[in-house]
């Protein structure tokens, strides 16, 4: 009985020490762009925010990605009678370009890394229906190579002032927004 009590007390002491060690602050925060910012001795006015909002046709670097929203069509029609938007909706299409500027690694691309946001704050997912051709597929970009294609979104007819949001990784909160108006 004494051995069980001693083992239990020893386990509780070790567990308590581990909890205390994990709860300490390192003085380093991670901002919403994934860059480390040392907050010891730095006032908030000295920290410059990372730019996350851009305009159409700007060459934008995010991590290993370089992207450009090249063309924008505010009202795209499908290619046949089956590729038409639902009543009260329209298709919006954006041509994007990816560049892999690295010299030694491939980077992946996917149309589902993009969302469209309207002036009301509603988010719209990529739609393969009614897609403007050539549509952006998914795959890998070799070093020093480029890929481009159209992204199509189905939105309400009265939707306006669109912003294209790019989030290249599900596991990260890094993103950029490109104004299309």
What's the pLDDT score for residue 97? 97
Strands (E), 53-118: 53-55, 60-62, 65-76, 89-100, 107-109, 114-117
Average pLDDT (108-120) is 95
What's the pLDDT score for residue 173? 81
What's the pLDDT score for residue 8? 56
Residue 24 predicted with pLDDT over 50 = no
What H or E segment, with its residue span, contains residue 163?
strand 163-166
Q: In the chain, what percentage of residues exceed pLDDT 70?
A: 72
Q: Which residues contact 48 (CB under 8 A, 6 or more apart)?
A: none
Paired strand residues for 55: 179
What's the pLDDT score for residue 7? 57
What's the pLDDT score for residue 58? 95
Token couple for 107: 């980077």
Q: Are 60 and 66 spatial neighbours (Cβ–Cβ below 8 Å)?
A: yes
As a whole number of angstroms, the distance between CA 76 and CA 154 comes to 10
Local confidence band at 83 (pLDDT 50, 70, 90 cut-offs): confident
This prediction has a pTM of 0.69
Q: Which residues contact 133 (CB under 8 A, 6 or more apart)?
A: 79, 150
What are the pLDDT digits (tens) for 142-173?
999 999 999 999 999 999 899 999 998 877 78
Local confidence band at 1 (pLDDT 50, 70, 90 cut-offs): low
Go through the domains of the chain in sequence order and give each one's CATH number: 2-46 (no CATH), 53-179 (2.60.40.1240)
What's the pLDDT score for residue 131? 83
Q: Are 116 and 153 spatial neighbours (Cβ–Cβ below 8 Å)?
A: yes
Residue 91 predicted with pLDDT over 50 = yes
What's the pLDDT score for residue 74? 87
């Amino acid at each position: 009985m004494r051995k069980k009590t001693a083992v239990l007390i020893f386990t509780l002491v070790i567990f308590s020490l581990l909890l205390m060690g994990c709860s300490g602050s390192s003085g380093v925060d991670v901002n919403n762009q994934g860059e480390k910012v040392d907050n010891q001795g730095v006032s908030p006015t000295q920290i410059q925010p990372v730019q996350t909002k851009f305009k159409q046709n700007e060459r934008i670097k995010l991590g290993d990605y370089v992207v450009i929203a090249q063309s924008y069509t505010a009202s795209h029609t499908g290619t046949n009678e089956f590729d038409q938007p639902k009543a009260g909706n329209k298709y919006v299409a954006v041509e994007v370009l990816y560049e892999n500027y690295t010299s030694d690694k491939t980077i992946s691309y996917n149309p589902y890394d993009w969302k469209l946001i309207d002036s009301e704050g509603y988010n719209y997912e990529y739609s393969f229906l009614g897609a403007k051709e050539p549509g952006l597929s998914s795959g890998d970009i070799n070093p020093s190579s480029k890929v481009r294609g159209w992204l199509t979104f189905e939105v309400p007819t009265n939707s306006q002032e669109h912003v294209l949001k790019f989030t290249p990784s599900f596991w990260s909160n890094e993103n950029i927004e490109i104004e299309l108006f």
